[in-house]
Amino acid sequence: MYIYQLSKWPAFTWDNDALAEVLAEVRHRQGRLLGKMEGIGFSLREEATLQTLTQDVVKSSEIEGEILNPDQVRSSIARRLGMEVAGLVPSDRNVDGVVEMMLDATQGYTEELIDDRLFGWHAALFPTGRSGMAKIVVGAWRDNGKDDPMQVVSGPMGRGKVHYQAPDSEILNHEMRQFIAWFNTNMSIDPVLKAGIAHLWFVTIHPFEDGNGRIARAITDMQLARADGSPQRFYSMSAQIQAERNSYYDILENTQKDSLNITEWLLWFLLCFGRALSNTDETLAVVMRKAKLWENSATRNLNDRQKYMLNKLFDGFFGVLNSSKWAKMAKCSQDTATRDIQDLIERGILVKEAAGGRSTSYTFSESVVSSG
């Protein structure tokens, strides 16, 4: 028996005393992070938001086994937010669709959640009307028959393990009306707890043919933006869930087959949220160092290839930088790559690393990244 089959569904309960200490700790940490970000200036907050949203979109898709190009995601977000950043690249419509959903959820966090908005998110996720090779109904609740139930299965086709079976499609209108009414109602539940409940409730209903996990995480981010009171994002819940996806799937499966007391799920969610807050330090450190780089007078009047490659080097998407890698990634000739690099050396931005000859490689000058 799944929890939606229980007579009191969806009257969730939880033990406030068991959650109080962890909830107070993560809310304190959340407040400190937001306070810290308020003090660093608008441009740095914008860059941190861009980094975080990029990570959020990439990792949320990665959980579902879909690998998106981070450069395309970053560029799509920057264009939609009207941000002038270096090294933008074209993005395909699948990337643009996921970005459109995430930005609508986080930038429009004060707006009500309605079924048409959810249908729009679903259509954005599947711009071709296909999931993999299969044609799916886009922008509508699923309509599978009782002989073809919606199941979460792992393992070989036809012989896999059924981890979960969602409610019959004939009751989805009723189920979603209840969920949406609850989500849009201001109540005494702590907003971070509400994010955890909303996530569980939505994935349990599983209202779409595909994309339920990504939409559930968008809803979670929307509610966390409400908890922050800001559309700017400085931590990624999706990145943390991806890092802990095995325990995420385990607690989700156990909760969906248990009782309506969801204390264990909420405890896991709060602890995961706390780790997401803690793991912002590395992202924000990169943002601060990158900001110092672009504030340095030596970086004025660089060409687009140089801006793109310096951003890539800072983000650590590749190991050793050499002229061959520069030429390949910047899509230019070897001679052009060499000239670009030599110009950056003369400006004092890059320096040759110790090894020379055929293995010549380059890195940032310490004086550039440490100066303001």
* Residues 220, 141 share a domain: yes
Residue 133 CB neighbours (<10 A): 5
Q: Does residue 290 fall inside a structural domain?
A: no
Q: Which mean pLDDT values do the consecutive 10-residue runs of the chain (372 residues) have?
A: 96 98 97 88 86 95 94 95 84 96 97 98 94 87 89 74 94 97 92 98 97 97 97 95 96 96 98 95 76 80 90 73 90 95 93 72 76 44
Full domain range(s) for residue 346 = 297-370
| pTM attached to this predicted model | 0.84
Written as six digits, the tokens of 78 are 């920057």
pLDDT at 356: 58
Q: Does residue 340 fall inside a structural domain?
A: yes
* Residues 143, 21 share a domain: yes
Q: Does residue 287 fall inside a structural domain?
A: no
Q: Where residue 220 sits, what CATH number does that domain have? A: 1.10.3290.10
pLDDT at 372: 42
* Residues 318, 275 share a domain: no
Considering its fold, how many domains does the chain have in total? 2
Q: Does residue 292 fall inside a structural domain?
A: no
* Residues 196, 75 share a domain: yes
* Residues 268, 145 share a domain: yes
Q: Where residue 305 sits, what CATH number does that domain have? A: 1.10.10.10
* Residues 238, 118 share a domain: yes
Are 192 and 26 a contacting pair, CB within 8 Å? yes
HSE-up of residue 44 (Cα within 13 Å, Cβ side):
18
How far from chain centre, in Å, is Cα 31? Answer: 21
CA–CA separation, 65 and 95 (whole Å):
14
Residue 291 CB neighbours (<10 A): 17
* Residues 145, 240 share a domain: yes
331: left (phi > 0), else alpha (psi -120 to 50), else beta?
left
Q: Which of 250, 282, 314 is the last residue of a domain?
A: 282
For the chain, the straight-line distance linking the first and the last C-alpha, in angstroms and rounded, comes to 61
Q: Does residue 288 fall inside a structural domain?
A: no
Q: Between the CA of residue 332 and those of 309, 310, 325, 340, what are the distances in Å?
A: 12, 15, 10, 10
